[in-house]
Amino acid sequence: MTSFFKGVYPIMATPFNPDETLDLDGFRKSIAFMVDAGAQGATITGVLGESNRMTDKEREALIRVAVDVAGTCGRPFRVCVGTSHAGISATADLSQMAQDLGADAVMVTPTKELAPTPDDMLVELYARVAKKCPGLPIVLQDHPASTQVHMSVPLLCRIVLEVPTVTCIKLESLPTPAKIAQVRQKWAQVPPKQECTILTGLGALYGGFDLEQGTEGFMTGFAFPEILAAMNHAAQAGDMERAHALYARFLPLMVFEQQPGVAVRKELYRRRGLLKSGHVRAPAPSSVSPVLAKALEKLLVRTFGSGCDLTKPLPAEVFT
């Protein structure tokens, strides 16, 4: 099995109307923006997408929109669907729904539950999703900050080995550079049968260091996929100094954006024209504080100059 998880897969925010209902038109435009920006695909209903605050029907509606945009955009654009759930059978059911609706892949995080042999249970999680969804690529999200599950390197490698449709690890377990290197070292000794890539997450905060250890792109919510694409392009071409220079140049923006709270990110998406409203669902704070909004505005000017139109994908000259 070959992995198509290379390049840039933005994690999508979910646009809500001020009354908290889904803004599906806005979602359609958001996905279309990522197509225009040259992303390889998009991951929906993840943590940033506030999937934990949605009903299953809402998830369904979002999948339909994303699959529709992808199917009519005229080029391969993959829709990856976050289907994590506290129950294994429900994770499998949600994954099957995604597959049935035409999604290209699912992203699954482990859930924290005390099992007598926790590692076996985590293998079972991925195995059961794989069994229920034959042929569907699975992204293993390793993100202890949201899951409280700390997966060892041997466990990660065991899952990839035993579940051949796991073709990507979104590796977000700190410190990421060390863990990426350890996984790749293991794979050098015992290669998995399928191709399995590692993508960088965490808002690209450690992007320069992760690429250095061999990640093959980004799956994260940083609102400038063009910049990530440029970094990744340089890194994959072996020009690590250029990758690092881009990283260093845009790092203040990455640092600012990854501050906790979905609202900060949605504000940036809003400024890029992806969302009409940055409204976040309760019980999270519904919007960014005015202080942060103003600091962000200054930062954008400092980064791109005052005349830059951010509502369109940035032309290459902006970041060369």
Site residues, a copy of itself (CB under 8 A) = 20-21, 50, 52-58, 85-90, 93-94, 111, 113-116, 121-122, 124-125, 128, 150, 152, 174-175, 177-178, 181-182, 205-206, 208-209, 212-213, 241, 244, 247-249, 251-252, 255-256, 259-261, 264, 281-285, 289, 291-292, 295, 298-299, 302
Rounded Cα gap, residues 78 and 80, in angstroms: 6
The CB-of-285 to a copy of itself minimum distance in angstroms stands at: 6
Q: Are 204 and 222 in contact (CB under 8 A)?
A: yes
The CB-of-71 to a copy of itself minimum distance in angstroms stands at: 25
Q: Are 151 and 183 in contact (CB under 8 A)?
A: no
- Report the residue number, 57 or 193, with the smaller CB distance to a copy of itself: 57
The CB-of-43 to a copy of itself minimum distance in angstroms stands at: 19
Q: Determine whether 238 is exposed, middle or buried from the number of CB atoms within 10 Å of its CB (0-12, 13-18, 19+).
A: exposed
Rounded Cα gap, residues 115 and 193, in angstroms: 28
Per the annotation, does 12 bind a ligand? no
Angle between helices 240-257 and 290-304 (to 10 degrees): 160
CA angle in degrees (0–180, nearest 5) for 45-169-265: 40
- Report the residue number, 237 or 255, with the smaller CB distance to a copy of itself: 255
The CB-of-125 to a copy of itself minimum distance in angstroms stands at: 7
The CB-of-61 to a copy of itself minimum distance in angstroms stands at: 13
- Report the residue number, 28 or 281, with the smaller CB distance to a copy of itself: 281
Sheet (strand 78-82) strand order: 7-10, 217-220, 197-200, 166-171, 138-142, 105-108, 78-82, 41-44
Closest CA to 280 of 45, 48, 33: 48
| Binding residue ranges for pyruvate | 219
The binding site consists of: 219
